[in-house]
Amino acid sequence: MVENHSSKPSGWQLYGGKIVLVTGGAGFIGSELVRQLEAAGSKVRVLDNFATGTRTNLASTAAELVEGDVRDNATLQRVFEGVECVFHLACVGVRRSIHAPREAHEVNALGTLNVLQAALASGVTRFVHVSSSEVYGPALRPLIAEDHPCLPTTPYGASKLAGEAYARAWNITYGLPVTVVRPFNAFGPRCHHEGDSGEVIPKFLLRAMAGMPAVIFGDGQQTRDFTDVADIARGILQAAECPHALGGTINLGSGRETSILDLARLAGVPQVIYCDPRLGDLRRLLCDSSHAQRLFGFRPEITMEQGLDRLRQWYRQEGIPPEVLLRQEVIYNWRPNASTAEPSLAR
Ligand SMILES: NC(=O)c1ccc[n+]([C@@H]2O[C@H](COP(=O)([O-])OP(=O)(O)OC[C@H]3O[C@@H](n4cnc5c(N)ncnc54)[C@H](O)[C@@H]3O)[C@@H](O)[C@H]2O)c1
């Protein structure tokens, strides 16, 4: 059994029995959030266009599913009926943004504006905007706190920054009760290994399980701050129920810096293959989440090793052989016309 970390956040009481809307709720983080909301007694409605999310991700939940798009204002008007609180996660991801920048803008920036307008019109009492650490761009100092300059390098980072700027503006100008959270890299059950959504941890772990080498872009010394999705979702819920988080911007991460090379070792791949670095790839990302810790006691409970174990167990439980899942892997998945071809073993 995969250990259940979807515990009820302490003091959760604001939305018990009320309708909570999760945009992008059929996705990786969204579906974990839905599970934790339900465990806390909320009635959940999900708005998702299933671009990268799936109905299967919400299997065994009681969430009301609305198939629709945050670019469609008529759908938004309908979906907000009776909603008390909204978690806005619907987005186009970083690698897709590189070959579809206009779509990233339309969903991540304009779509956010649409959701804010609909939320304001419906009178929600809480709007949690899920942004991303990608808004910071290259680290100018080792630990990234919320006052670090935001100089994003990818269309995704730029469009996420526009989205959160709108969210803050709707708070200040129109009084919408907004909190912005900036998760760093999340991993865990239901994360993406496939296509242009594919993330480094599931790709490495599946390759390790299949006895295949990991593909590293650049020297492997680039670092990320990885946190288990159960901890990230708990942090998002804690931010929603913390009165002092209103109007604020809050990092969520582990505070542990892991290089891609170390990750390959932790995942257990038999070998690594080095390829040219990715354009726009950030060298370091390390989260200072002391603000979240001070505001609502946020502290990740799952170590990197435990999280990797949890994900490994989840893949085994799902029962699809890693070799089969890896057929959906796209190695150069940030490029237009991304190729599935194996890079050569030569450096
Ligand atoms: N995964 C991470 O490591 C990470 C880190 C930081 C921030 N985030 C943020 O968390 C949120 C969720 O990310 P995720 O990793 O779960 O990605 P995901 O792709 O699994 O989830 C995004 C969801 O949004 C849906 N969606 C996309 N376009 C839509 C549209 N136009 N209308 C309605 N729904 C739409 C997708 O179908 C999917 O279910 C995003 O806002 C992302 O920026 C993720």
pLDDT given for residue 15 in this prediction = 64
Residue 270 forms part of a structural domain: no
Q: What region, left, alpha or beta, does residue 137 occupy, with left being phi > 0 and alpha being psi -120 to 50 degrees?
A: left
Residue 267 forms part of a structural domain: no
pLDDT digits (tens, 9 = 90+) for 110-136: 999 999 999 999 999 999 999 999 999
For ligand 1, whether the C-beta of 197 sits within 6 Å is: yes
Answer for the pair 165, 124: CB distance below 8 angstroms, yes or no.
no
pLDDT given for residue 332 in this prediction = 81
Q: How far is the CA of 30 from the centre of ligand 1 (A)?
A: 7
Which range of residues forms the domain containing residue 72?
A: 19-186+227-252
Q: Supply 308's token pair.
A: 């990797």
Distance CA(19)–CA(23), nearest Å, equals: 13
Residue 24 forms part of a structural domain: yes
Question: For the chain, which residues score pLDDT lower than 70?
Answer: 1-16, 336-347
Count the Cβ atoms, other than its own, within 10 Å of residue 60: 7
For ligand 1, whether the C-beta of 130 sits within 6 Å is: yes
Identify whether 136 is a catalytic site residue.
Answer: no
- CATH value at residue 231: 3.40.50.720
Ligand 1 atom, smallest distance to 133 CA = 6
Q: Give percent above pLDDT 70 in the chain.
A: 92
pLDDT given for residue 282 in this prediction = 81
Residue 231 forms part of a structural domain: yes
Q: How far is the CA of 91 from the centre of ligand 1 (A)?
A: 4
For ligand 1, whether the C-beta of 171 sits within 6 Å is: no
pLDDT given for residue 10 in this prediction = 44
Residue 25 forms part of a structural domain: yes
For ligand 1, whether the C-beta of 24 sits within 6 Å is: yes
Q: Supply 113's token pair.
A: 């504006």
Residue 151 forms part of a structural domain: yes
Q: Which residue's CA is the nearest one to ligand 1's atom 18?
A: 27
Report yes or no on whether pTM surpasses 0.85: yes
User: In testing the pocket of ligand 1, which one of 32, 88, 91 has its CB within 8 Å of the most ligand atoms?
Assistant: 91
Q: What region, left, alpha or beta, does residue 312 occupy, with left being phi > 0 and alpha being psi -120 to 50 degrees?
A: alpha
**Three-class SS of the chain:** CCCCCCCCCCCCCCCCCCEEEEECCCCHHHHHHHHHHHHCCCEEEEEECCCCCCCHHHCCCCCEEEECCCCCHHHHHHHCCCEEEEEECCCCCHHHHHHCHHHHHHHHHHHHHHHHHHHHHHCCCEEEEECCHHHHCCCCCCCECCCCCCCCCCHHHHHHHHHHHHHHHHHHHHCCCEEEEEECEEECCCCCCCECCCCHHHHHHHHHHCCCCEEEECCCCCEEEEEEHHHHHHHHHHHHHCHHHCCCEEEECCCCEEEHHHHHHHHCCCCEEEECCCCCCCCCCCECCHHHHHHHCCCCCCCHHHHHHHHHHHHHHHCCCHHHHHHHECCCCCCCCCCCCCCCCCC
For ligand 1, whether the C-beta of 188 sits within 6 Å is: no
Residue 306 forms part of a structural domain: no
Domain count along the chain: 1
Q: Tokens 């701050």 label which residue?
A: 225
Residue 14 forms part of a structural domain: no
pLDDT given for residue 8 in this prediction = 45
* Amino acid in position 133: S
pLDDT given for residue 1 in this prediction = 39
Q: CA torsion 26→28→30→32, rounded to 10°?
A: 110
User: Among residues 15, 136, 156, 166, which one is catalytic?
Assistant: 156
Ligand 1 atom, smallest distance to 187 CA = 3
| Angle at CA of residue 106, ends 170 and 277, nearest 5° | 110
pLDDT given for residue 334 in this prediction = 77
